[in-house]
Structure 1
């Protein structure tokens, strides 16, 4: 709905607040009551002369009546509605809500932002506890030391007639392992304290860059409006190191180039026309397919724009870019699920792959992947490839049997997967009183 279409709703609200009857107001500005009624119900456009007369009688600035609802508020309300699919909402009346009750609209969007931020924080903490290489190493040291102490203590208890010399050795081992446990625990606590004291909690420059992207929904309004990447890096608290700011300039430069090649309003309209087909968009705008992937992932989710995720990796499988869609968490560290089309694309560089996939919670996506050269092709060296995968959420009525995938092996509970490279850390249940993890006693 165009912004001007809400002018009538605002006129009606201001008339009622001032206690005017429709017929009285119409008479004062020289139009019929029936015509004013059509204007107030957004069924007739309002000319500049009539608008000025109305604003003068109502005692308000003309821009207050003519200015449309903020796009950001409308978009956030649409996103909130799309997130909670269990509650039916009147999507066709969102614009009217923003126009008539701006305070309530702002309150709802603020709560939605807060909820989304909390969900991202919880997801990030869960991801970090699972994949942080430093934390994993410290945890392994602690568990190994505890196991050693327990084993030594069990021998002492089970063997009361142990010789004095052997007892001394075991006591010495317990003392040594206890010191090691104290050092490992202190080191792990220091690492956690270091993360908690940082604004972003980012362990690497790349993680800091995408923490900044995540905080903004991967939609950088400043760059959409032609802003300067260097100025933007200075405004982001997540970029708390020179290395992070330098890396951010690279990614912001790519984002700005995509904006210039595919302006937002034109691209969004075209995306709706081709039903978010990146191949059609790449042809229409004359850009590489991977650029169309990135631009689609930068669109703000709404009632008319599906949930879109993006992930890329280098030839080693290490993740470079990650925008997690709802229903499929993408790991911060290491590689993702070996079954992702992202990795299959590396086996056939330059050949686009499309596959329907299903996450563990039943969310289905159309996954489109492509491996492309990371830089210019040269005769004197072999090309270096990167792979990129776009994830577009769809309903379960899509044709064909989807491929079941996970996030990564460590947090995937699927049984009988031939691609599994390590046991899951998720609790599987109790077996004879022993808590198991990935089928192994813990």
Structure 2
């Protein structure tokens, strides 16, 4: 089995601060460059076996302590919890959270445990869906062994067949004695796919698009040939609820299906060669925009990493039905509501058009480095005329300059559209789009004037 990459930036940073060393001094003792140490501390690179040996030799260090903050998701997991509206009036910034995690890691873990048990404003954090999402987040949505096995199978099928749909159909017939049959909608009124073992058929709805048909065939193959490997990963997860485990296993099956359609090596090479050109990648791999967006969040193979994208799916009410951050640190997509100033909402009225926007999270006047986001409408089931959603992908602006969709877009910080994590959690002053007062802030009233927003409050 491939060993899981060890990301332990916060723990390594705590060690350095405890020893009173600069990054340059620590890097010298570990025999690595300061820039590489910086990447490790930011969880952009894993702790290699050689660096681990140097840590033990130079600092008499217990390697087990590198795992201590994994369960809470490090600084990003802690920041997500403190973004709750119940803490809005405290003005806790990221630097304070770093100190909290660095100086009192056990207290930080205790807080995270209590927070997760108590639940969030949007519902219990221990509900099955939240638990499944936390486990996906813990893996950073990259399952190395499943990805490698899927890539090997995809390469094997493509040795003599160029069409992935045909290759999947032939694999099902030759290996599992299953034929593929497309059935009218009135025969499968409530199903997209059905496995009929009596007839030895994989039955698909005629309403599915070609990319969705291929995905359903890949999903069926994943369930048949990867059941043992998927079950092993799902059983290893820390769940109190079997429904959460079933949701996690469903995600793993979809993960394998996407890896079959977009094999890691070929897909990453295509991404890099095209500047992650989304329409080109859709066509080249014969996938939907939503399938492509999912795959972009998984490119974290050790020694062969892609860019850290996030992906969300939202409905017209601004509710997130899917959120995958992978290696991204985009906290604004983990809120209970989205910002109406984000052009992802505009995509509903411009079906099929890619909405590209440079945004920056603007909370309490403290703007982040900004994100390039790309959003487009998708059909809910892959069947034309069904429920409509918008899928958005995004990446930090500092990494986006060479992307195909960034051409013609100014990524200067001053040109970013300020957005917030939903009105109730946004402290931006003077926003004319505000619909709700910000939680934890005292409202101000002036009978002599009427401002641009119905809810005014002090900026400090």
TM-score interval for Structure 1 and Structure 2 normalised by the shorter chain:
0.5 to 0.7
Matches within 5 A, 1:4-403: 72=5, 89-91=34-36, 98=48, 100-104=50-54, 114=68, 117-128=73-84, 130=86, 195=117, 202-226=125-149, 227-228=226-227, 229-238=230-239, 240-300=240-300, 305-324=306-325, 328-330=330-332, 332=334, 334-360=336-362, 361-377=367-383, 382-395=385-398, 399-400=409-410, 401-403=415-417
Distance 2:233 2:400 in 1: 42
After superposition, the Cα gap between the structure-2 partners of 1:283 and 1:193, relative to the gap in structure 1 and judged at 3 Å, is: closer
Root mean square deviation of aligned Cα: 4.4
Tell me if structure 2 keeps the 8 A contact 1:373–1:383. yes
Q: 5+ unaligned residues in a row in structure 1: which ranges? A: 1-68, 132-191, 432-436
Distance 2:64 2:340 in 1: 38
Aligned length: 297
Tell me if structure 1 keeps the 8 A contact 2:144–2:301. no
Q: Helix, strand or coil for the counterpart of 1:279? A: helix
Tell me if structure 2 keeps the 8 A contact 1:327–1:363. no
TM norm structure 2: 0.53
Q: Helix, strand or coil for the counterpart of 1:72? A: coil
Instruction: For CA contacts below 8 A with separation 6 or more, give which structure has more relative contact order.
Output: 2
After superposition, the Cα gap between the structure-2 partners of 1:111 and 1:89, relative to the gap in structure 1 and judged at 3 Å, is: farther
Report the CA distance between 1:245 and its aligned residue.
2.9
Report the CA distance between 1:386 and its aligned residue.
1.8
Tell me if structure 2 keeps the 8 A contact 1:359–1:405. yes
Q: Helix, strand or coil for the counterpart of 2:396? A: strand
TM norm structure 1: 0.55
Distance 2:116 2:67 in 1: 27
After superposition, the Cα gap between the structure-2 partners of 1:130 and 1:258, relative to the gap in structure 1 and judged at 3 Å, is: farther
Distance 1:416 1:298 in 2: 38
More helix per residue: 1 or 2? Answer: 1
Report the CA distance between 1:259 and its aligned residue.
0.7
Tell me if structure 2 keeps the 8 A contact 1:338–1:419. yes
Distance 1:300 1:208 in 2: 22
> Which of these two proteins has the greater Rg computed from alpha carbons?
1
Tell me if structure 2 keeps the 8 A contact 1:331–1:408. no
Distance 2:289 2:115 in 1: 43
After superposition, the Cα gap between the structure-2 partners of 1:127 and 1:395, relative to the gap in structure 1 and judged at 3 Å, is: closer
Q: Deviations over 1:362-402 (max 9, x none)?
A: 32221011111011436xxx520121111111229964332
Report the CA distance between 1:407 and its aligned residue.
1.8
Tell me if structure 2 keeps the 8 A contact 1:224–1:256. yes
Which of 421, 424, 428 aligns to 1:414? It is 428
Q: Who is 2:220 aligned against?
A: none
After superposition, the Cα gap between the structure-2 partners of 1:100 and 1:205, relative to the gap in structure 1 and judged at 3 Å, is: closer
Report the CA distance between 1:251 and its aligned residue.
2.5
Report the CA distance between 1:421 and its aligned residue.
1.6
Tell me if structure 2 keeps the 8 A contact 1:363–1:393. yes
